[in-house]
């Protein structure tokens, strides 16, 4: 992808960290349009459904909110079944003409599972409990992997430090981090 679409698609960092009994999703606050910072304190992470699911998005904001709403609908249909709700959303995402045009990715988690949802219909569960999406996602993911075995660091401490590292590398990521935890 090139041009403005590329900037919207990759202009954020979302990181999910699962360690011990804790899980967090962290997101930076920067909204970029090309090379310009439009907003520095956006909230790209939120609680979903009854509050037992947390999610973060990378991509076009309106598209992501549409997906959050659709996921909340699926969670109402399949309460306490995050994987099933995500698979059903992914089916809709691939087959619905409107949803197919949405440009966003989501990282979601509940007390049991962390998942990545993509516009190609993928619902992926990482084997190590770590997810990084967006332009700084790989930087944050690498930092989290390096920190995950550190004694004394819980999921939130790892996420905050990894996001700090990503913000120091990726120009589309800032240090205004929002963290939701379960």
Digit-coded pLDDT (tens) for 72-99: 999 999 999 999 999 999 888 777 665 5
Q: Which domains does the chain have, with CATH numbers?
A: 3-181 (3.60.20.10)
d(C-alpha 120, C-alpha 81), whole Å: 21
Residue 99 pLDDT: 59
d(C-alpha 11, C-alpha 78), whole Å: 32
Is 66 one of the catalytic residues? no
Let me know if 35 is exposed, middle or buried by CB neighbors in 10 A (0-12, 13-18, 19+): exposed
Neighbouring-strand partners of residue 54: 47, 109
- Residue of 12, 36, 61, 118 with catalytic role: 12
d(C-alpha 166, C-alpha 50), whole Å: 31
pLDDT tens for each residue of 162-173: 999 999 999 989
């Amino acid at each position: 992808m090139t041009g403005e679409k590329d900037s919207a698609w990759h202009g954020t960092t979302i990181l999910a960290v699962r360690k011990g009994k804790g899980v967090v999703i962290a997101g930076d606050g920067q909204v970029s349009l090309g090379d310009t910072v439009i907003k520095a304190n956006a909230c790209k992470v939120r609680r979903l459904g009854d509050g037992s699911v947390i999610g973060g998005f990378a991509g076009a904001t309106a598209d992501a909110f549409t997906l959050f709403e659709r996921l909340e609908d699926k969670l109402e249909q399949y309460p306490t079944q995050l994987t099933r709700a995500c698979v059903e959303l992914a089916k809709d995402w691939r087959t619905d003409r409107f949803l197919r045009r949405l440009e966003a990715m989501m990282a979601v988690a509940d007390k049991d599972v962390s998942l990545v949802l993509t516009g190609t219909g993928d619902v992926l569960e990482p084997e190590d409990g770590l997810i990084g999406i967006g332009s700084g996602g790989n930087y944050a993911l690498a930092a989290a992997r390096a920190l995950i075995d550190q004694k004394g660091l819980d999921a939130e401490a790892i996420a905050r430090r990894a996001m700090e590292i990503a913000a120091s590398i990726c120009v589309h990521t800032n240090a205004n981090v929002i963290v939701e935890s379960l």
